[in-house]
Amino acid sequence: MKVLVPVKRVIDANIKVRVKSDQSGVELNNVKMAMNPFCEIAVEQAIRLKESGLVDEIIVVTVGAAQSQETLRTALAMGADRAILIETEEAIEPLAIAKSLKAVVDREGPGLVILGKQAIDGDNNQTGQMLAALLGWSIGTFISDLAIEESIVKVTREVDGGLEKLELAPPAVVTVDLRLNEPRYASLPNIMKAKKKPLDNMSPADLGVDIAPRLSTLKVEAPASRQAGVKVADVAELVDKLKNEAKVI
């Protein structure tokens, strides 16, 4: 079985995000970028499936600027077999990404698509669901456990009330959560090997996909800073502050 793993280049999770002075967006110049943490988990899971003999080939794909090749090379160094970059300088919305991924799925014919439940920049949590709808495939979201047994994809979902177990008939789309696995670090030999692995470059036009935005950003503002907390000596003081200062009771 062939597995497709979409990944995304985002600001490193350890970097403090800054808003541009003109409030048109988030500052990306001279900022450390990395693979989205949920995407790392998706790549790791695909590699584990291949190591167990359940997957023949892992294809990683991203939609973004030319610099996104670095993210794809990271996935190749982790253990993916080849990569596809759908290059565009436009700000891409989840629906456009889902349409682009559908076009790649139609070309490559994978039996499973594994992607992160969301990207830490937009926090949209939409692409996987939209892709499954466009394809008409089974879908499991927020996955914390995944196994393939007798051509059935068995997943455990993390839901508000606890855990939900599902059996999906391939082809299927799954979006992964944090507790699924611990992504590996790419070794130096594998980083060198990744430079020689195939990376195809195409455009949305090559796929016949319209990526025109449906939304426009009017202004971006940083969240208001929160006041420091205080310690109280006893319950009576706590109740007094809640009543007279916070005015919540």
> 3-state secondary structure string, 94-141?
HHHHHHHHHHHHHHHCCCEEEEECCCCCCCCCCHHHHHHHHHCCEEEE
Give the CATH number of the domain where residue 56 resides: 3.40.50.620
Q: Can you give the residue range of the structural domain that contains 106?
A: 2-244
Beta bridge partners of 199: 83
pLDDT digits (tens, 9 = 90+) for 207-248: 999 998 888 889 998 888 888 888 999 999 999 999 998 888
pLDDT score of 246: 83
Residue 249 lies in a domain: no
Report whether 175 contacts 140 (CB < 8 A).
Answer: yes
Residue 201 lies in a domain: yes
Residue 142 lies in a domain: yes
What parts of the chain have a pLDDT lower than 70?
A: none
Residue 38 lies in a domain: yes
Cβ-based neighbours of 206, under 8 Å, separated by 6 or more: none
Number of domains in the chain: 1
Distance of CA 106 to the CA centre of its chain: 21
pLDDT score of 143: 95
pLDDT score of 248: 87
Report whether 9 contacts 33 (CB < 8 A).
Answer: yes
pLDDT score of 21: 87
pTM for the whole structure: 0.87
Residue 37 lies in a domain: yes
**How many helices (H) does the chain have, and how many strands (E)?**
7, 11
Residue 140 lies in a domain: yes
pLDDT score of 140: 95
pLDDT score of 102: 97
